[in-house]
Amino acid sequence: MRSVNIGICGLGTVGAGVFNVLGRNSNSINSRANCEIGVTQVGARRDNPGCDTSGTDVSRDIFDVAKNPEIDIVVELIGGTTVALDLVMTALQHGKHVVTANKALIAAHGTEIFAEAESRNLIVAFEAAVAGGIPIIKALREGLSANRINWLAGIINGTTNFILSEMDSKGRDFADVLNEAQEKGYAEADPTFDVEGIDAAHKLVIMASLAFAMPLSLDGIFTDGITKLEPQDVSYARELGYAIKHLGIARQTPEGVELRVHPTLVPEKCLIAGVNDVSNAVMVNADAVGTTLFYGPGAGSEPTASSVIADIIDVARTMASSPDSWVPALGCASSALQEQKIMDIQDIETSFYIRFSALDQAGVLSNVTKIMGDAGISIEAIIQKEQPAGEEYVNVIILTNVTKEKFLDEAVTYIEQLETVRGSVNFIRVEHLDQ
């Protein structure tokens, strides 16, 4: 039986998980790969007490691994987009196949990485870059390859899902839950990438490229985080039969491709509305199969290691065959990828949840509905909440039918100028995910 030698770069949470699972499940992994897979070298600046590398060559210089002539597959698990890019390109230039869990690297530099790999008849695999242990990359690239994909929508960041789940079930404030998420290790000391949607945007770009056969690019994607959400909006949404989820949405339309990450009201009956805590889920709607749901742990040491090792097995199986038979990195030949127009958020059509504070007096709501009517916005429901004791103002909730965002923005501007309305108008997009 042939041998395939692995070099792991990075021995953090995921790196340790990969090392441990490869050792623990070596017999079944080797039987599935039809070869003997072994870790020849580890590159890490420091040891991880969670794994025993005493019998393994460990280098403090990760580039030693990329240049080691004995290694067949380099596993990049260091993160970031600077040193990681240099490491991956060095590995390819030295004839190594690459497996990575680095979504930011693939989203920002995938095009040049894949071109380099293709020019050298090498494979770059990245299943763990999106949704941790959920095999969504393989599903989009291979399992659904007979389909025309219409849209996909996903909870693809566990930190934001944990925060929203706690705000929903316990009525807690954003800042309070964020602090707990940091204490539990769900969020970094600087949580910006998670709570502002940047992490989700990287993952969405990768999925959209696979779904719609378009080049990787972060240009044009709309990103909105969860920092401005208030517990009352989460509570009101639940009263109305919705849950608020932070979604990445990609949709193919005749006008172009929608690429957007933002808080979203989804009906309680929708399967994705019941995905809580740090779990991830991705819904995919396609012409032949209809709507499918992929659900599971979106992060963590061994769940992510599961996806990394699945890639290692795939590469180990494939590397001995002709490159003509390999599945391309983005599901189709690079020459078949086509640039597509990314729609401006102002031109995207969806329904909206709107909340504002208004004086509880005659004529106020009629003024608001006239403004919305003049903007061409149809109202599905309007609810005036009970007036708090001693308060002149009440919360007003409006659910709209589908409209373009630019019409909603126009109406909001006029509503905020009314003397009977206090403060800003808050709105959240609504998606029914049923077509």
Which CATH number goes with the domain that contains 196?
3.30.360.10
Q: Is residue 393 part of a domain?
A: yes
Q: Are residues 227 and 112 in the same domain?
A: no
- Report if pTM > 0.85: yes
Q: Is residue 111 part of a domain?
A: yes
pLDDT in tens, 280-323: 999 999 999 999 999 999 989 999 999 999 999 999 999 989 99
Note the helical H segments in 214-363.
Answer: 231-239, 301-318
Q: Are residues 32 and 97 in the same domain?
A: yes
Q: Are residues 103 and 153 in the same domain?
A: no
- Residue 390's pLDDT band, with cuts at 50, 70 and 90, is confident
pLDDT in tens, 26-67: 999 999 999 999 999 999 999 999 999 999 999 999 999 999
User: Looking at the predicted structure, is the pLDDT value of residue 162 above 70?
Assistant: yes
Q: Are strands 57-59 and 36-43 parallel, antiparallel or unpaired?
A: parallel
- Residue 174's pLDDT band, with cuts at 50, 70 and 90, is very high
Task: Say how many CA atoms lie within 13 Å of 26 toward its Cβ.
Answer: 12
Q: Are residues 177 and 289 in the same domain?
A: yes
C-alpha span between 26 and 37 (Å, rounded): 8
Which CATH number goes with the domain that contains 32?
3.40.50.720
C-alpha span between 264 and 427 (Å, rounded): 10
Which CATH number goes with the domain that contains 410?
3.30.70.260
Domain around 253: 136-297
pLDDT in tens, 226-261: 999 999 999 999 999 999 999 999 999 999 999 999
User: Looking at the predicted structure, is the pLDDT value of residue 182 above 70?
Assistant: yes
Q: Are residues 190 and 293 in the same domain?
A: yes
Residues that are catalytic: 203
Q: Are residues 152 and 235 in the same domain?
A: yes
Q: Are residues 79 and 28 in the same domain?
A: yes
Name the percent of the chain lying above pLDDT 90: 95
The mean predicted confidence, pLDDT, of the chain is: 96
Q: Are residues 287 and 357 in the same domain?
A: no
* Domain's final residue, options 277, 309, 336: 336
How close are the terminal C-alpha atoms of the chain, in Å? 49
Close Cβ partners of 427 (under 8 Å, ≥ 6 residues apart): 352, 353, 354, 355, 408, 412
Q: How many domains does the chain have?
A: 3
Q: Which amino acid is at 278?
A: V
Q: Are residues 126 and 154 in the same domain?
A: no
Q: Are residues 260 and 327 in the same domain?
A: no
Q: Is residue 341 part of a domain?
A: no
Q: Are residues 144 and 240 in the same domain?
A: yes
- Residue 422's pLDDT band, with cuts at 50, 70 and 90, is very high
Tokens of 220: 């044009």
Q: Are residues 32 and 164 in the same domain?
A: no
State CA 246 to chain mean position distance: 10
Q: CA quadruple 129, 112, 195, 210: dihedral positive or negative? A: negative
Determine the pLDDT at residue 1: 83
Short-list 55, 51, 77, CA closest to 65: 77
Q: Is residue 14 part of a domain?
A: yes
pLDDT in tens, 79-88: 999 999 999 9
- With beta carbons less than 8 A apart as the criterion, state whether 225 and 196 touch: yes
Q: Is residue 36 part of a domain?
A: yes
Determine the pLDDT at residue 435: 59
Percentages helix, strand, coil for the chain (3-state, rounded to 5) are 40, 25, 35
Q: Is residue 343 part of a domain?
A: no
Q: Is residue 397 part of a domain?
A: yes
Q: Are strands 349-359 and 393-400 parallel, antiparallel or unpaired?
A: antiparallel
Q: Exposure pattern of 89-107 as b/e (b: 16+ CB <10 Å)?
A: bbbbebebbbbbbbbbbbb
Radius of gyration in angstroms for the set of CA atoms belonging to the chain, rounded to a whole number: 24
Name the percent of the chain lying above pLDDT 70: 100
Q: Is residue 435 part of a domain?
A: no
Tokens of 424: 């800003």
